[in-house]
Amino acid sequence: MSDPAASPSCSLCLFRHVCRDAPATGTRPDAEKPLQPTHLIVPAGDAIFRQGRPVTAVFPLRQGSAKQVYESPLGWRQVTGFSLPGDVLGLEPNEAPAHSVSALALQDTECCVVPVEALRTHMADAGFRDSVRAVMRHQAERERILLVAVGSMKAAQRLAMLLLDLDAEHRRRGGTDSALTLAMSRTDIASLLGLTLETVSRLLSRFASVGLISVRQRRLRLIDRDGLAAVYADLDPMPRQIPAAIGPLAGNVDEPRPF
Amino acid sequence: MSDPAASPSCSLCLFRHVCRDAPATGTRPDAEKPLQPTHLIVPAGDAIFRQGRPVTAVFPLRQGSAKQVYESPLGWRQVTGFSLPGDVLGLEPNEAPAHSVSALALQDTECCVVPVEALRTHMADAGFRDSVRAVMRHQAERERILLVAVGSMKAAQRLAMLLLDLDAEHRRRGGTDSALTLAMSRTDIASLLGLTLETVSRLLSRFASVGLISVRQRRLRLIDRDGLAAVYADLDPMPRQIPAAIGPLAGNVDEPRPF
DNA sequence: CGCAGTATTGAAGTAGGTCAAATGTAGTGG
DNA sequence: CCACTACATTTGACCTACTTCAATACTGCG
């Protein structure tokens, strides 16, 4: 846990090619790997950094998970995303001097600390710079998809989208099973999707009752990904209570890609 | 209209310090102003650029107005913002190689064309670079506020927010009167705010009926900015039909700042 | 004038919010 | 280990803000 050695999350880390902690990469000689970040342990619920505070470092996530929370000038609060091991917290686009959101640990969490000076130094490398910017662009794209989802999709679609995304991230991290554990509360999910916690809970139960998933508290298992994708794409009126007996051969979805 | 001379919008333009078309700035000697952009006329409804297409130039808006439209992978479309003269269209953060949204002219529109090479050249100047990045950050902040609005505010709040923002932009451009003309349709407004056009129309009527604004079609006049700010801040249950006779002295709003 | 696009207004339906109660889970200290 | 508390989740019943459907009016343009 507090062992500074390479963790599995390192293999997905943005800094893996320049970090001493990361396992050697086959393709590169790794002649120079000057980055040896310190580590930081954050207990569940605590902030890794806070919105508005100056950016002094970025934080590759090693263990645990976090949520990003944005607080608007009028005091409205909204979750804008979740992060898993391998993600880098605190990367601000456009050379922002201050964090645009807060990051709160969803559980006891460990992350690396990469000072901005080190980051800036490495940004001199074109390849590295490009990959950092690609990550930033991906984040921006995600937020836009969230905006469209919240702005024009139904509750069931939004939740299906989130589940598919969480599953995709889980698999990208090597999870071969379909079981995942939700680190975030129903309230967090509701905030992200622009719903209430009751709606999220009901929807999860409904998904389960029609055989799309199984849920018990925070243990979740995706059973029918295609079905979820259909819900996401809204090809499916999503049976209110009991599925209309006529199951029309679960049609394929042209674009099931979540997020 | 097609006269290439300086327009009033130039005085707000990001490029004013480096552009030959812009009026001389008092503070700087303008020794070097190597930018002399070509101009582009876009008829109402046409695209200035399209989402996914490579970024070849950015487009300072001279006359007219435009909307940004994002199309999600699944085909959902949403307006993400409106632009007025002085704004720069097509500025993509993170060195994105392609436009992340489309820009459609809301009326016959004229804009400058600044090739990306020229932009990149001027980015060498620290002051200029900083101001460009500040604009990008401001845009990102706007989108986040929109996300929170759509995700957790009521319809009336969202609309009040938009009206206050449009008004603020109008005044920033020198408009001293409280009258403004909406270049966008009710449908566009509805899309931006995550509502239906009928709701927008009804809400405008309701705002008018309680004396916050006056509207007729696309002519709009803000009558009670403080009242709108109160609606935005939700200090006000927003009378359903006829105000509940007890008017509690229209309280001050701590943070009436829209967007 | 008459048509096409845009806006307003009404009536009815519903998705999701709100309020409230019951159950489950985890943490704490005895 | 267990009792007790605090909090998260589920579920139900009701309600309303918003959508949907539909009809009517306004504006601009050939």
Q: What sign has the CA pseudo-torsion A94, A97, A103, A108?
A: positive
> pLDDT tens across A28-81, in order?
555 566 788 999 999 999 999 999 999 999 999 999 999 999 999 999 999 999
Least confident of A54-68, A171-185, B52-66, B86-100: A171-185
**What distances in angstroms separate CA B134 from CA A57, A76, A92, A106, B156, one per listed residue?**
20, 23, 13, 32, 30
Cα B94 to Cα A133: distance, rounded to the nearest angstrom: 5
Cα B232 to Cα B213: distance, rounded to the nearest angstrom: 14
Q: State whether B147 and A145 contact (CB < 8 Å).
A: no
Taking a C-beta distance cutoff of 8 angstroms, is the pair A99, A92 a contact?
A: yes
Average confidence (pLDDT) over B136-140: 96
DSSP for residue B25: P
Q: A143-165 burial, b for 16+ CB within 10 Å, e for fewer?
A: bbbbbbbbbbbebbbbbbbbbbb
Highest mean pLDDT among B2-6, B184-188, B233-237, B253-257: B184-188
Average confidence (pLDDT) over B105-129: 96
| A contacts of B145 (beta carbons < 8 Å) | 72-73
Taking a C-beta distance cutoff of 8 angstroms, is the pair A184, A67 a contact?
A: yes
Nearest-by-Cβ selection for B94 from A78, A93, A153: A93
**Within chain B, what is the greatest distance between any pair of CA atoms?**
64
Quote the pLDDT of residue B235: 79
Structure tokens at A86: 């391998």
Taking a C-beta distance cutoff of 8 angstroms, is the pair A18, A24 a contact?
A: no
Quote the pLDDT of residue B176: 87
Quote the pLDDT of residue B241: 44
Taking a C-beta distance cutoff of 8 angstroms, is the pair B214, B208 a contact?
A: yes
Residue B51 Cβ < 7 Å to strand D: no
Average confidence (pLDDT) over B231-256: 52
Q: Is the pLDDT of residue B120 over 60?
A: yes
**What distances in angstroms separate CA A9 from CA A65, A112, A235, B75, B77, one per listed residue?**
12, 11, 36, 34, 35
Q: Which of residues 140-169 of A touch strand C (CB under 7 A)?
A: 154-156
Residue A192 Cβ < 7 Å to strand C: no
- Our CA-based measurement puts residue A251 at a distance from the nearest CA of chain B, in whole angstroms, of 16
Q: Which residues pair with A77 in a beta bridge?
A: A71
Q: State whether A191 and B152 contact (CB < 8 Å).
A: yes
Rg (C-alpha) for chain A, rounded Å, is: 20
Task: Name the residue in chain A with its Cα closest to that of B155.
Answer: A151
Average confidence (pLDDT) over B28-55: 86
- Our CA-based measurement puts residue A237 at a distance from the nearest CA of chain B, in whole angstroms, of 17
Q: State whether A74 and B255 contact (CB < 8 Å).
A: yes
**What distances in angstroms separate CA A53 from CA A57, A75, A96, one per listed residue?**
11, 17, 11
| A contacts of B196 (beta carbons < 8 Å) | none
Structure tokens at B19: 């552009």
Task: Name the residue in chain A with its Cα closest to that of B259.
Answer: A73
Quote the pLDDT of residue B28: 55
Q: Is the pLDDT of residue B21 over 90?
A: no
Question: What's the whole-model pTM score?
Answer: 0.88
Quote the pLDDT of residue A97: 97
Instruction: Give the distance, in angstroms, between residue A74 CA and nucleotide D15 C1'.
Output: 28
Q: pLDDT tier at B106 (50, 70, 90 boundaries)?
A: very high
Q: Would you write out chain A's pLDDT as a tens digit for each of its 259 residues?
A: 444 455 678 999 999 999 888 776 555 555 566 788 999 999 999 999 999 999 999 999 999 999 999 999 999 999 999 999 999 999 999 999 999 999 999 999 999 999 999 999 999 999 999 999 999 999 999 999 999 999 999 999 999 999 999 999 999 998 888 899 999 999 999 999 999 999 999 999 999 999 999 999 999 999 999 999 999 998 765 554 443 333 343 333 344 344 4
Quote the pLDDT of residue B253: 40
* Beta-carbon contacts of residue A256 (< 8 Å; ≥ 6 apart): A164, A225, A226, A229, A230, A232, A233
| A contacts of B96 (beta carbons < 8 Å) | 133, 137
Q: What percent of chain B has pLDDT over 70?
A: 84
Question: How remote is the C-alpha of B125 from its chain's centroid?
Answer: 27
Average confidence (pLDDT) over B192-203: 98
Quote the pLDDT of residue A123: 95
Indicate the length of chain B as a whole number.
259
Quote the pLDDT of residue A256: 39
Residue A196 Cβ < 7 Å to strand C: yes
Cα B21 to Cα B222: distance, rounded to the nearest angstrom: 34
Q: State whether A152 and B76 contact (CB < 8 Å).
A: yes
Q: State whether B73 and A152 contact (CB < 8 Å).
A: no
Q: Is the pLDDT of residue B44 over 80?
A: yes
3-state secondary structure chain A: CCCCCCCHHHHHCCCHHHECCCCCCCCCCCCCCCECCEEEEECCCCEEECCCCECCEEEEEEECCEEEEEECCCCCEEEEEEECCCCEECCCHHHCCECCCEEEECCCEEEEEEEHHHHHHHCCCHHHHHHHHHHHHHHHHHHHHHHHHHHHCCHHHHHHHHHHHHHHHHHHCCCCCCEEECCCCHHHHHHHHCCCHHHHHHHHHHHHHCCCEEEECCEEEECCHHHHHHHHHCCCCCCCCCCCCCCCCCCCCCCCCCC
Say how many C-beta atoms besides its own lie within 10 A of residue B40's C-beta: 14
Average predicted confidence (pLDDT) for chain B? 88
